[in-house]
């Protein structure tokens, strides 16, 4: 059946330099970063780890949290900035939402396009994947074009998150939701300390800059700072979750438990910790929801 939905018009250029999907990671030995970097060069390592425990927990928890926030909302217009391999974009399209996914990296976008091609026609009709610059979305899409804007693992690679947040906020329709996934600065010292990297742990007390497990220079955010920014752009904080309290220090090659009961218990423990103080305060990642 024709839903009558048409994706928002796209007038932007092609490939862009803004990083796509990424995540925080353990600081490496050697020179510590003085500024955040780019996701360029990290795509291969990121895609190689998609089946790993840490990414699995991240994607599953974020999906649960988004579903909770979108309960009672059907057919939402969703923009996913830095959609990467398309995990969340595909899940939202399967749930009946109309999704526009944007990413800079042609390899990651190719993975997303391949996955989309395997979906049934009704899902393919609800998801378009585009190559473009997240910084320019405010110019390419009109104000109030989307009911939900997702920006996961992108702010990590920007020196200042505020301009991007302001740009995305303008795209939200009244009552719309903004979903941000960032590295938690208030827990930044935990991962290197657990690995015995005391220099990086001490550095984390003084700076929001670090090297992640992909070897890329990155940056972390504090919930309090994001809350102020969200209020300033009229998308005040609605809710927040922690992501990866217990499994963040798992080795890169760790995989999810094969036993279904054990896997369910692991996810339930992570899910409860991500909603409960003080556990969520020391999660590796923060999932922050603002509402316009």
For helices 162-169 and 223-232, angle between their N-to-C axes, nearest 10 degrees: 40
Residue-wise pLDDT for 223-260, tens only, equals 999 999 999 999 999 999 999 999 999 998 999 999 99
Of 181 and 9, the structure prediction assigns the larger pLDDT to 181
User: Quick check: 153 and 84 in contact, CB under 8 A?
Assistant: yes
| Helices marked H in 170-206 | 190-194, 198-206
Residue 279, Cβ density class (10 Å: 0-12 exposed, 13-18 middle, ≥19 buried): middle
Pairing of strands 127-131, 146-152: unpaired
118 pLDDT above the threshold of 60: yes
Residue-wise pLDDT for 65-81, tens only, equals 999 999 999 999 999 99
Give domain limits for the chain.
Answer: 43-291
Q: Residue 9: which pLDDT band, with cuts at 50, 70 and 90?
A: very low
Q: Residue 23: which pLDDT band, with cuts at 50, 70 and 90?
A: very low
Question: In CATH, which superfamily holds the domain spanning 43-291?
Answer: Vaccinia Virus protein VP39 (3.40.50.150)
Q: Residue 285: which pLDDT band, with cuts at 50, 70 and 90?
A: very high
Mean pLDDT of the chain: 87
Please tell me the pTM assigned to this model: 0.86
**DSSP secondary-structure letter at 246?**
S
Residue-wise pLDDT for 154-188, tens only, equals 999 999 999 999 999 999 999 999 999 999 999 99
Q: Residue 57: which pLDDT band, with cuts at 50, 70 and 90?
A: very high
User: Taking residues 3-17, what's their average pLDDT?
Assistant: 38
């Amino acid at each position: 059946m024709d839903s009558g939905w048409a994706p928002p018009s796209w007038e932007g250029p092609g490939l862009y330099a803004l990083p796509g999907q990424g995540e925080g990671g353990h600081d490496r030995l050697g020179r510590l970063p003085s500024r955040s970097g780019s996701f360029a060069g990290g795509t291969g390592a990121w895609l190689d780890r998609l089946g790993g425990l840490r990414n699995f927990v991240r994607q599953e928890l974020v999906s649960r949290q988004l579903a909770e926030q979108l309960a009672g909302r059907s057919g939402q217009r969703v923009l996913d900035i830095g959609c990467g391999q398309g995990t969340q974009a595909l899940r939202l399209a399967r749930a009946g939402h109309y999704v526009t996914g944007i990413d800079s990296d042609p390899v990651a976008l190719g993975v997303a396009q391949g996955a989309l091609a395997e979906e049934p026609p009704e899902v393919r009709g609800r998801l378009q994947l585009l190559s473009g610059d997240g910084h320019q979305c405010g110019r390419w899409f009109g104000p109030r074009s989307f009911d939900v804007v997702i920006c996961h693992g992108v702010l990590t690679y920007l020196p200042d998150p505020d301009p991007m947040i302001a740009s995305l906020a303008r795209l939200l329709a009244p009552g719309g939701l903004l979903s941000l996934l960032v590295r938690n600065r208030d827990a930044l010292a935990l991962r290197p300390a657990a690995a015995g990297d005391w220099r990086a742990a001490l550095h984390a007390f003084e700076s929001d800059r670090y090297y992640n497990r992909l070897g890329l220079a990155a940056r972390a955010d504090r919930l309090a700072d994001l809350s102020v920014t969200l209020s300033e752009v009229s998308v005040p904080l609605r809710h927040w979750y922690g992501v990866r309290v217990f499994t963040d220090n798992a080795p890169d090659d760790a995989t999810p438990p094969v036993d279904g009961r054990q896997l369910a218990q692991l996810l339930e423990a992570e899910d409860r910790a991500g909603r409960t103080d003080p556990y969520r305060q020391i999660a590796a990642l923060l999932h922050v929801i603002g509402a316009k």
